Amino acid sequence: MKIATFAAGCFWGVEEAFQVLDGVIETAVGYMGGTMENPTYQQVCSDTTGHAEVVEVSYDPQVISYERLLERFWSKHNPTSLNRQGWDIGSQYRSVIFYYDEEQRQLAEASKAALDSTDLYEDPIVTEIVPATAFWRAEEYHQKYILKQKPGYTCS
């Protein structure tokens, strides 16, 4: 099993996008990239802790590749939007790939460069690619949030 961590806006919808993929064993939403230990949702939403809302993806690399996870990441959000996804505004909604080893860093950089070289976006991609730091699991009511809602509920 391997771990990948992505930030692409509100973590509810991002988690939903990854948890349905074959080879993804588990997902958890939380916070990464900030300065405070064990932050709460309210603290992260204050846009003062430096954390991004993230999804930690545990996956079986024999079933799904890191490259496939990157494809899902890029397709889930607008990577040219700085500190914003849709109506969600603030640095906690920034686009980030947190890598755990040199292979993940290289694959992330290559996928970003390949996407940036296409005509898909008018603006440059602003996604950060940075080393993973401590993952702080979000409060339980955030975990699998969309699955806990009425059928048909979605978060785009």
- Which position among 8, 10, 17, 97 bears the catalytic label? 10
Residue with the larger pLDDT of the pair 147 and 94: 94
Taking the C-alpha atoms of residue 24 and residue 39, their distance in angstroms, rounded to an integer, is: 26
Asked if residue 103 is part of any domain, the answer here is yes
User: What's at 130, amino acid-wise?
Assistant: V
Taking the C-alpha atoms of residue 9 and residue 47, their distance in angstroms, rounded to an integer, is: 13
Q: Is the per-residue pLDDT at 101 higher than 80? A: yes
Q: Is the per-residue pLDDT at 74 higher than 90? A: yes
Q: Is the per-residue pLDDT at 53 higher than 80? A: yes
Q: Domain containing 17: what range? A: 2-148
Based on the structure, what is the number of domains in the chain?
1
Taking the C-alpha atoms of residue 71 and residue 30, their distance in angstroms, rounded to an integer, is: 21
Q: Which residues contact 63 (CB under 8 A, 6 or more apart)?
A: 22, 23
Q: Give catalytic status of residue 45 as yes or no.
A: no
**pTM of structure:** 0.94
Asked if residue 156 is part of any domain, the answer here is no
The closest of 71, 47, 44 to 57, measured between CA atoms, is: 71
The closest of 53, 43, 42, 56 to 9, measured between CA atoms, is: 53
Asked if residue 128 is part of any domain, the answer here is yes
Asked if residue 106 is part of any domain, the answer here is yes
Give 39-48 pLDDT, tens digit per residue.
999 999 999 9
Asked if residue 11 is part of any domain, the answer here is yes
Taking the C-alpha atoms of residue 121 and residue 137, their distance in angstroms, rounded to an integer, is: 33
CATH number where 90 lies: 3.30.1060.10
pLDDT of residue 154: 67
